[in-house]
Amino acid sequence: MTYLLALVPAVGWGIMPLITGKIGGSTVNQTFGIGAGATIVGLIAYCAAIMSGNSGAVAVTSQGFWISVLCGALWSTGQIGQFVSFKRMGVSNTMPLSTVFQLVGNSIIGVLIFGEWHSSRALIIGFAALLVVIIGALMTSITDQSSGKKVTIQNFLFLLVTTFGYWVYSTFPKMPMLKDEKTLGIFLPEMIGILIGAIIYTLASGNAKAFKQKEHYLNIVGGISWGIAALAYIFSGRALGTNMAFIFTQLNVVIATLGGVLILKERKTNREMGFTVLGIIFVVCGSILTVFAH
């Protein structure tokens, strides 16, 4: 059952960029939509616990509350970087690269900070699997001059730097300061933090007029998809460990990458499509291989 729960984020986070891509709007619109939609999910989960007489499930200390808010706000950095990259490189190019940056970063954090992959055998299998994932992602990013959106060094580095926010978010369920906090208790403040980060970005970028645009609110649909996935991730992250749970979530690359081509109609040459499909196979196989690094 825990493994099935761990697949929910893969689906929710996989279809989110397809939803926001279909709805359209600016990066500001999409980021706010994710924050608002995720907060709605958090409020529903909170109210459901209260109404069922299980108020203890949503209890949280003041320290847990503010750490959760901060982690949520930092997550916005990663999401902003991803949305900007969608527009620069396309969903089908961005998602595999984002997967690699997140998977490698979180695996290193899991090993160095949380003591995961503690045996020599686990380390060898784990890092061999990461190498397979990296090769796969590089295949998916191969572009021809005739294609529309390309992976450039500048776009590559921009996505890498902004992924820092995702690293913080992904280690969030296993942070020592939060180990005694209730899962539902830290979920709502984290979603509020994401919304605060989105609002700050909207105002700081000089786009206050975005609050009058319909895309600002239509993108909440994508946020609801994201929020459901996030709730499932916190539960699976605590049950399976940071590395294992995160690896399952990154299977979203299959949905997002193929969806970018088939649903959002992102143009790829036959050569690019061949490398994309082969790269996805490598990413999935590498992700599955890391399960044996325990």
d(CA 276, CA 287): 16
pLDDT in tens, the chain (294 residues): 677 888 898 899 889 989 998 998 998 999 999 999 999 999 999 999 999 888 888 899 999 999 999 989 988 899 899 889 988 888 878 877 887 888 788 778 877 777 777 788 888 888 888 888 778 877 877 777 555 567 788 898 999 999 998 888 778 767 788 878 888 898 999 999 999 999 999 999 899 999 999 999 999 999 999 999 988 888 887 777 766 777 777 678 788 888 888 888 887 888 888 998 898 888 788 877 877 776
Task: Name the amino acid, one letter, at 273.
Answer: M
Q: Give the per-residue SS3 of the chain.
A: CHHHHHHHHHHHHHHHHHHHHHHCCCHHHHHHHHHHHHHHHHHHHHHHHHHCCCHHHHCCCHHHHHHHHHHHHHHHHHHHHHHHHHHHHCHHHHHHHHHHHHHHHHHHHHHHCCCCCCCHHHHHHHHHHHHHHHHHHHHHCCCCCCCCCCCCHHHHHHHHHHCHHHHHHHHHHHCHHHCCCCHHHHHHHHHHHHHHHHHHHHHHCCCHHHHHCCHHHHCHHHHHHHHHHHHHHHHHHHHHCHHHHHHHHCCHHHHHHHHHHHCCCCCCCHHHHHHHHHHHHHHHHHHHHHHHCC
- Nearest C-alpha neighbor of 106 from the set 116, 97, 93: 116
pTM above threshold 0.85: no
- Nearest C-alpha neighbor of 261 from the set 23, 9, 18, 10: 18
Q: Give the per-residue SS3 of 97-138.
A: HHHHHHHHHHHHHHHHCCCCCCCHHHHHHHHHHHHHHHHHHH
- Looking at residue 13, what is its pLDDT? 87
- Looking at residue 103, what is its pLDDT? 78
d(CA 99, CA 78): 12
Q: How far are the Cα atoms of 41, 67, 123, 229 from residue 250, in angstroms, in the given order?
A: 21, 25, 20, 12
